[in-house]
Chain A
């Protein structure tokens, strides 16, 4: 898509008001509990200013850089996942009043605009599309996901800064947003370079007070994104990764990581592509009605690997191995793409700071001898 123009930083509110006037509920970055989360935004001056996130394995801090920029924070624990694949929702209800009646409870058709999605988030969404939408990988569309997807408007932000846990450049997913957005912003000195990624995005941009972008600004934007990519210190070597992991299923490193893994499931909760869930029925005490609920589950829970009277992955070692081999290897077989988009959230938000790149590197450095 061609560059549409420049939007002064002080005029970002026009974008928010334009979206609101078009009926969108607008969410964007807000600070909660010491981190950036997505929450309702009604005015641009509600957005956090000048914050950067300092991320390390098992550690996240927001610091004030006092530079007045809006999107240097990179990201928080949440991705686009929660807006499409709801953490918990009722799929249908059943009532018994003389006769038994079922009712589907699809989400309401309410347009939602998300400001601040990153390239890794868009890549994560594209990966989840393969799970939840009808495609060559999947015979059915999940109507709950599909309804939200149709109603989602994305204002992406190209990263001009990386966190220490980021490795999107090595996964070919960022830091520039590739596809799936309606509008993309790149933050410059005192303005945003604005691009449309869809007809809906172009229509919104037509209502904004844009100035023409000169070559200087487009070059600056490209350089800033390139610099963010170069600043990434982590990279995941995916060379022959399927063979590497599946030839090393009894590698001693799995025991080593199991000593550090809490089996708390945080990595899977913050991962933008993890889609495991459980479905349960919640009946009222009078026995007259019941809700069929779906909620995020994880391959780290024992219930998830419970099949016909047995836990098939009773040890932490087996569950971590299941997660990592699926994420990085069998996902490719299943969906034609890696399950990892390089956002680094599983590294930052692991309470004991397990770094999946280090785990893969340890196996790669000393693979088991094949007999």
Chain B
């Protein structure tokens, strides 16, 4: 791979917040544009060029039958495919429907449900095609995005840490809200990357960066139980923005009646 990289940013079922993180790079976006060709980025430009792409960033979950087809086409047209955000990486908040009756929702909400092309489950891109790297977060973190972009530009494998939020808290000198305040913080089982944003303000982490690489959600659930959370409370904590991610899914399942 020599010369300028061809980069694409694609959107599936999502709120566009992760694409906005791209746009909010501002000055850095110009630097990126000087080193790479941004061939397709609907949120940024109406000029959308077809593949092949060297790197495709994918926002959003697979939520319609059209999505199923399009993600295959994008994969086939992309040398590297990197998901951005909770939706593309774990199915997103909209994956809450995966535990409910999808057809009932459609009938209850839409006057003419036959026009609705929606799958019963919202799923991450990795359930459908090979994914080369995953940027977690709701939304993704700009510093992490910049590191991944500079890795990609340097033609090295993107480095995305998988450890818990706790390491970041301790490095930064934030006092543990769980130990010092009995607050049901998900930090110990959540992936780093946000800069420990919530604990910095003495708030509990709510897991928007998804599960850490090998945490123990079952043991943290037991700790929450000791702190007085009900079984349903524990399920709700884990089954949120990244509820469909396997570790959070399994951790919630333990407490489900």
Q: Residues of A at under 8 Å CB distance from B?
A: 32-35, 37, 58-61, 76-78, 82, 87-88, 258-266, 269-270, 280, 282-287, 295-298, 300-303, 314, 316, 348-352
Contact = CB atoms under 8 A, between A and B. Distances in A.
Given A33-B180, A348-B179, A266 B166 contact: yes
A286 B31 contact: yes
Q: Which 5 A-B pairs have the closest CB atoms?
A: A33-B175, A269-B170, A264-B188, A87-B171, A34-B180
Contacts of A266: 166, 170, 176, 188
Nearest to B202: A33
B50 interface: no
A87 B170 contact: yes
Contacts of A77: 170, 175-176
A296 B215 contact: no
Interface of B: 28, 31-32, 34-35, 146-147, 149-151, 153-154, 159, 161-164, 166-167, 170-182, 185, 187-189, 202, 212-216, 218-220, 222-223
B161 A263 contact: no
Given A77-B176, A283-B151, A352-B219, 17 more contacts: A34-B175, A58-B179, A60-B180, A261-B219, A262-B164, A264-B164, A266-B170, A266-B176, A269-B170, A280-B159, A285-B28, A285-B31, A285-B150, A295-B171, A298-B163, A303-B162, A316-B216
B163 A301 contact: yes
Contacts of A298: 163, 167
B35 A286 contact: yes
Contacts of A287: 35, 150, 153-154
Contacts of A270: 170
Q: Which secondary structure dominates chain A's binding surface?
A: loop
Contacts of B35: 285-287
A314 B32 contact: no
Contacts of B180: 33-35, 60-61
A296 B215 CA distance: 19
Given A263-B215, A263-B216, A303-B162, A351 B167 contact: no
30 contacts: A33-B174, A33-B175, A33-B180, A34-B175, A37-B173, A58-B179, A258-B216, A259-B216, A262-B188, A262-B216, A263-B212, A264-B189, A265-B164, A265-B166, A270-B170, A280-B159, A283-B154, A285-B28, A285-B35, A285-B149, A286-B35, A298-B163, A298-B167, A300-B163, A302-B162, A302-B213, A302-B214, A314-B214, A352-B219, A352-B220
A37 B171 contact: no
Given A34-B181, A285-B28, A296 B150 contact: no
**Which of B187, B219, B223 counts the most chain A CB atoms within 10 A?**
B219
A351 B28 contact: no
**Which of B177, B188, B220, B223 counts the most chain A CB atoms within 10 A?**
B188
A88 B151 CA distance: 20
Contacts of A282: 147, 150
A282 B216 CA distance: 30
A346 to B, nearest CB: 11
Contacts of A59: 179, 182
A133 B178 CA distance: 35
A61 B161 CA distance: 32
A300 B163 CA distance: 8
A76 B175 CA distance: 9
Given A260-B219, A262-B216, A286-B31, A37 B166 contact: no
**Which of B32, B164, B176, B219 counts the most chain A CB atoms within 10 A?**
B176
A285 B219 contact: no
Nearest to A287: B153
B175 A35 contact: yes
Contacts of B149: 285
B223 A58 contact: yes
Contact of A351 (B174, B213, B220): B220
A37 B175 contact: yes
A24 B177 CA distance: 32
**Which of A78, A284, A349 counts the most chain B CB atoms within 10 A?**
A349
A61 B147 CA distance: 39
A263 B214 CA distance: 7
A316 B32 CA distance: 40
B225 to A, nearest CB: 11
B173 A269 contact: no
Given A263-B214, A265-B167, A351 B179 contact: yes
Nearest to B34: A286
Contact of A296 (B34, B170, B176, B222): B170
Contact of A259 (B34, B162, B173, B219): B219
Contacts of B179: 58-60, 348-351
Contact of A87 (B32, B166, B172, B212): B172
B173 A78 contact: yes
A284 B35 CA distance: 12
A303 B223 contact: no
A194 B175 CA distance: 31
Contacts of B172: 87
Contacts of A297: 167
Contacts of A280: 159
Given A33-B202, A282-B147, A269 B171 contact: yes
Nearest to A33: B175
A87 B222 CA distance: 31
**Which of A61, A78, A351 counts the most chain B CB atoms within 10 A?**
A351
Contacts of B177: 33
Contacts of B182: 59
A284 B143 CA distance: 11
**Which of A33, A283, A296, A316 counts the most chain B CB atoms within 10 A?**
A33
A262 B175 contact: no
Given A34-B181, A265-B167, A301 B162 contact: yes
